Structure 1
């Protein structure tokens, strides 16, 4: 089992990156938030990974933090949530925020995440409440970042995803007015919709 990779970012795509480790390129599936935190191409990176083995495939899923990996592993223990679905969920909500929502039984917050319907949200709360309560406590109260900070972080995230600085500036400027009180994951989703037309 491959638990960690250290190498250079070779390529980035919408849902994965290729990490060059000693001349071997590993395709690592990543959430949008993890992709946004990657350094630019050619730069060194270390990723925690989960190896998913099936009869017809061997997939690597990567994480930007221990928290993201812990929540991913908890999610895939839930009936009906596979690695791809867990990754998609973590593209729509930060790991600690998801842990808080589950611990507080906040079904309404969970259903705002793409890919989580009401039944799935209720199942997550029932099955994961005990597992994620420690992470939720560590997260403390959710804090909204000031709008200007979030817009600057959005711009950096878009450049890290491979968009040209001018494209990142355009998307960030378009979302600046409504950014107050929004978190980076929300702004990133909106910006990606804008950029992809």
Structure 2
């Protein structure tokens, strides 16, 4: 009982701090004087600033490895909520561990997985290490748990305008996690502003608040 309580006490859901080290093997985030080693997705790694040159906010999945004699506790981090949720859904499928899930997400985005599951063609995608049988299992397990990204709130706005604004914001140096936090305002701007130049200016004003 004590071991179980100790584990729950250590669960981390979010990390915000300085990026001390950035690498595919292990990224280190320092917060309150403590450095946390986090294994991040390929997509997240691309969003992070170089080690020592900026801060980041990561959505964390805390995983207890049952294969380790001592029960190793690992942190897996994501800059985007949708990818973090897809990672958790993949872990719920028998035979898929955290690193296998990351490998899948490195080859195909979370949005593309959802779209393929809805359309029933994930087995047609060429994903390294994912055979037809495993792809069929993923589709069967997730068919009632995901919906097409085309039906998401973002897509209900002018999707092309939203994507153009997001692209411009990234060119200005904003990270995906920062943009996601302001997505509702960006959607409103996309709906109410005709010229993309004006929309980007308004979005920049939101991001700098």
TM-score range, shorter chain: 0.5 to 0.7
- The RMSD of aligned alpha carbons is 2.9
Q: Which has the higher contact order (CA 8 A, sep 6+)?
A: 1
Classify the secondary structure of the residue corresponding to 1:84: helix
1:76–1:83 Cα contact (<8 Å) kept: yes
1:39 aligns with 2:49: yes
State the shift of 1:115 in Å. Answer: 2.3
State the shift of 1:53 in Å. Answer: 1.2
1:173-184 alignment, distance < 5 Å: none
State the shift of 1:15 in Å. Answer: 3.4
Aligned length: 149
1:8 aligns with 2:18: yes
1:17 aligns with 2:27: yes
State the TM-score, normalizing by the size of structure 2: 0.63
Q: Which runs of 5+ in 2 are unaligned?
A: 1-10, 172-209
**Which among 57, 62, 87 is matched to residue 51 of structure 1?**
62
Corresponding residue of 2:185: none
Task: Provide the rounded CA distance (Å) in 2 between the counterparts of 1:135 and 1:80.
Answer: 26
Q: Deviations over 1:78-115 (max 9, x none)?
A: 110011111111111111111111111113444x1222
Q: Which runs of 5+ in 1 are unaligned?
A: 154-197
**Which among 132, 146, 151 is matched to residue 118 of structure 1?**
132
Task: Provide the rounded CA distance (Å) in 2 between the counterparts of 1:127 and 1:137.
Answer: 20
Greater C-alpha radius of gyration:
2
